[in-house]
A and B are shown apart, each in its own frame.
Chain A
Amino acid sequence: AQRVTQPEKLLSVFKGAPVELKCNYSYSGSPELFWYVQYSRQRLQLLLRHISRESIKGFTADLNKGETSFHLKKPFAQEEDSAMYYCALKTHGGYQKVTFGTGTKLQVIP
């Protein structure tokens, strides 16, 4: 069975400080991993996916298969980064299944 773990319910950082939102997964196959973000009163939206290897809004995430992790990082937090962040795993091809973590609320203190 696949599982996604986000150990922190709430992460508070000061503006300008580095941010790391943790995500660990368990899955026997080769996963596809995502970070989704939900800003206040907005819809859930894709932030980034590991296969695209992009940096979005200054955030990056590297898939570490050895540690089964996909942590989200940003060197300098901005107030507008305050939101709910979800890590998600999707199986490949054929019959698909998506698993979300429980989410981490990021609070950037001015």
Chain B
Amino acid sequence: ETGVTQSPTHLIKTRGQQVTLRCSSQSGHNTVSWYQQALGQGPQFIFQYYREEENGRGNFPPRFSGLQFPNYSSELNVNALELDDSALYLCASSLHTGSEQYFGPGTRLTVT
């Protein structure tokens, strides 16, 4: 059984650019959640996708958007990057919306 994987591991972007982060969920999992973790903070919930539909969202602006594909992998897109977007982005998958989440290793995004 393969765990949750994320790509890329690290990324450096310039303010104003756009970025796409990718997540492959654990086999059989139909729910994916994305989190932003700034240095010294707990993970902040961005949104959750269940069977290709967004079914939960935190307090993030619309420039944070996502997709879930038929194989349940997912993308997080961030437009018009700001310096404060620099953080570790975590993806977590679960068997369904009410079950245990399994986290990926994260993507470290640096915006300069």
Which residues of A are at the interface with B, using a C-beta cutoff of 8 A?
A: 4, 6, 43-46, 49, 86, 88, 91, 94-103
Contact = CB atoms under 8 A, between A and B. Distances in A.
Contact of B44 (A46, A49, A100): A100
Nearest to B92: A44
Interface of B: 33, 35, 40-45, 48, 55-58, 90, 92, 97, 100-106
Nearest to A87: B42
Given A98-B33, A98-B48, 5 more contacts: A4-B42, A45-B102, A97-B57, A100-B44, A100-B45
Contacts of A86: 42-43
A6 B41 CA distance: 11
B104 A97 contact: no
B92 to A, nearest CB: 8
